Amino acid sequence: MTIMRKLYVSSLLIGAMYLIAGIVAIVNWSSMLLGIEPILSIGYIPPDAGFALVMITIGITMIAAAYFRDNIAKCLACALVGSGLGIASAFIQIAVTLAVGLDVIITWEEGDVLGTIFDVLREGIIRADVVLGLPALVLFMMSYRALKRLL
């Protein structure tokens, strides 16, 4: 299997996961707007329109790399941009989680601060954007290697 074939198959699979996460988030968000329980209640995919927009954008960009598999430049560009956005999304979520954890420490009044910090970190780190950021990091490295070989 050539590097380009691995690249567009990986991009298709990872992009599909991002797209599914975005669709689940938008379905849950719209069901909450209607005042009913979330239809697809998956724990670490928040019912948020912004989250859904980011996940769908990343997913479509990565799937476009598989669509443009015959054009090496477009395939690499889509894979690099999509995986870069996925990595950025993961790092932003990690930064937000750390900020919330520090906020808990700073505003601590009474109770189990370590348990609260652990809950905040667990809920923030095991979210779909952070978990999907790991395969996006691998895809970014594959794309970067392929680009270096091309140049």
Full pLDDT tens readout for the chain, 151 residues: 687 888 889 999 999 999 999 999 999 898 888 888 777 767 788 888 999 999 999 999 999 999 998 888 999 999 999 999 999 999 999 999 999 888 888 887 776 777 778 888 888 888 888 999 999 999 999 999 998 988 8
- 16 burial class (0-12, 13-18, 19+ CB within 10 angstroms)? middle
Does residue 13 fall inside a structural domain? yes
Decide if 10 is inside a domain: yes
**How confident is the model at residue 91, as a pLDDT?**
96
The whole domain housing 35 covers 3-86+128-145
Q: How many domains does the chain have?
A: 1
Residue 73: inside a domain: yes
pTM value is 0.88
pLDDT (0 to 100) of residue 125 = 87
Asked whether residue 95 is assigned to any structural domain, the reply reads: no
Instruction: Judge whether 118 lies within some domain.
Output: no
